[in-house]
Structure 1
């Protein structure tokens, strides 16, 4: 039963969205389902997703808003163009094989225009193994949907950094656009969905090299937004690249303008198998 897989679902969603997830069993329909929401908003004041089995080897996800989500809807409507672009790209990254309905709107230009906004996604033909099936629908459908909402709401990651021997928290205060972008787990999620986990510079695939310890690919913003002379639209498909930790650190050894990937590749070309990066 789906209720027996709450741990799998919660782990997948929290890793993908960068936010704590609340979860509860829902027996109101003909088949038992789950309700999922951002824990710090509770299910009445924010977006909520319902997950239910559909057919023999499928699941249906319905994402909408709670009865008292007016404040969050207004916050989403005030999201800046960059956050909107990333949210739309996350939803657009869902496989075309998934039947996706966006309140009568398109994958590339949808907007949350009221609290009645709703997304319905139906995934069919999932693996026979139920643990694998529910993990797949989480990674491929629920994570990008809820990550899109998290981006519009403005969730930031809180990280600890050492400064003068003391720990400092960096979360609600945005030090700079580029620093926030590099640390945003939803950026990493989208970058991997679009480009895979092979380093765009040296060609290494950490997960293949290190197994379970290889989830270390990092996201590089190809052009630091803080250095743009003229503001332009943010396009995650061409503005992000996956880099291994070594290459990511290497491109940033030149400041204020980092090395481009082609420049760094030229520096290291005598030591790198060119076929690996193609």
Structure 2
């Protein structure tokens, strides 16, 4: 049952969305489902995702808004156009194997207009839905992009531990840029758009090392240090995946790192 996989679901969602997540069991019918929401909002005051088994092989995921979501909906209505674009991109990254519905709206233009907004998806698993692998897959491929999209619209910053030294490095604008750099929602989209393969050497760490291969890194084509002020990063054009070796290698050139093409030329030379 899904309740047996609560811990791994919470872990996947926290890592993928960068926001605090709460979860509770919800009973009804023959199966016990899970309600999932943002920890700093009451369950009734924001978006809630319900996860249930559908038959023996599928998971049903439904996102809805609570009865007292007025303030949250106001925040979403005021979300900048760039955050709306990223939210739509996140929802568009939901697994194509999932049957997605957004209340009659399209994935390219949907908007949260009021509390009646909702989206649903159903994902079928070949080996059945009542196992940890299926729970992880549904979390990564459906729930994470759904909730990450809502987090982007609400305006959540990424949860990060405080600097143990108690000091911040650089000016306030630099701190804001660093927070954006570490945004797991940008990483999520970058890897979904470009794949988990190093754009320089072509290695796929996850294929080589299995579960220990979650070491692919995300590289900013335009260095953060060259920005005059924080800005939104486009995961398609501004970010690329690199293996740890290539990522360190491109940054050996300063202040601007090597282009990937430059590093590839170095790698193919006899030097």
Determine the C-alpha separation between the residues in 1 that align with 2:8 and 2:56: 20
Aligned to 1:121: 121
Tell me how far apart the structure 1 counterparts of residues 215 and 270 of structure 2 sit (CA, whole Å).
Answer: 22
Give the aligned partner of residue 156 of structure 1.
158
Q: Which position in structure 1 is the counterpart of 2:40?
A: 40
Query: Distance between the aligned counterparts of 1:157 and 1:5, measured in 2?
Result: 23
RMSD over aligned CA atoms reads 3.0
Any idea what the Cα deviations from partners look like across 1:24-46, whole Å, max 9, x if unmatched? Answer: 01114553211001112231222
Deviation at 1:169, TM superposition (A): 6.2
Shift of 1:255: 4.7
Using the TM superposition, give the Cα deviation of residue 252 of structure 1 relative to its aligned residue in structure 2, in angstroms: 3.6
C-alpha contact (below 8 Å) 2:58/2:128 kept by paired residues: no
Do the aligned residues in 1 keep the contact of 2:59 with 2:129 (CA within 8 Å)?
no
Query: In the superposition, relative to structure 1, how do residues 133 and 147 fare at CA in structure 2: closer, same or farther (>3 Å)?
Result: same
How many Å separate the matches in 2 of 1:137 and 1:82?
Answer: 27
3-state SS of paired residue (1:200): coil
Asked if 1:140 corresponds to 2:141, the answer is yes
Question: Aligned equivalents of 1:197 and 1:102: distance in 2?
Answer: 28
1:178–1:226 contact (8 Å) kept in structure 2: no
After superposition, the Cα gap between the structure-2 partners of 1:105 and 1:95, relative to the gap in structure 1 and judged at 3 Å, is same
Offset at 1:228?
8.0
What is the TM-score with the length of structure 2 in the denominator? 0.84
Structure 1 Cα separation of the partners of residues 253 and 81 of structure 2: 29
> CA–CA distance in 2 between the matches of 1:18 and 1:160?
15
Q: Alpha-carbon deviation of 1:222?
A: 2.6
1:263 matches 2:262: yes
Alpha-carbon distance in 2 for matches of 1:84, 1:46: 17
**What is the Cα deviation at residue 111 of structure 1?**
1.7
Q: Return the alpha-carbon distance in structure 2 between the equivalents of residues 219 and 135 of structure 1.
A: 22
User: 1:10: which partner in 2?
Assistant: 10
Shift, 1:121, TM fit? 0.9
CA contact (8 A) 1:158 1:169 kept: no
Cα distance change on mapping 1:78 and 1:269 into 2, 3 Å: farther
Aligned CA distance change for structure 1 residues 107 and 226 (closer, same or farther; 3 Å): farther
Taking the aligned partners of 1:157 and 1:122, their CA distance within structure 2 comes to 29
Aligned to 1:198: 197
Matched, 1:74 2:74: yes
Q: Deviations over 1:167-204 (max 9, x none)?
A: 4469xx66367533421111111222222211111222
Structure 1: unaligned runs, 5 residues or longer: 273-278
CA contact (8 A) 1:218 1:244 kept: yes
User: CA, structure 1 residues 233+110, in 2 after alignment: closer, same or farther (shift >3 Å)?
Assistant: farther
1:276 paired residue number? none
Q: TM-score, normalised by structure 1?
A: 0.82
Q: Point out where structure 2 has 5 or more consecutive residues left out of the alignment.
A: none
Instruction: Work out the number of aligned pairs and report it.
Output: 266
Residue 101 of structure 1 aligns with which residue?
A: 101
Cα pair 1:191 1:241 within 8 Å, conserved: yes
Match of residue 235 from structure 2: 236
- Asked whether the equivalents of residues 157 and 179 of structure 2 are also in contact (C-alpha less than 8 Å), the reply is no
- 1:92-128: CA deviations, max 9, x gaps? 1112331111122111221222222111111124422
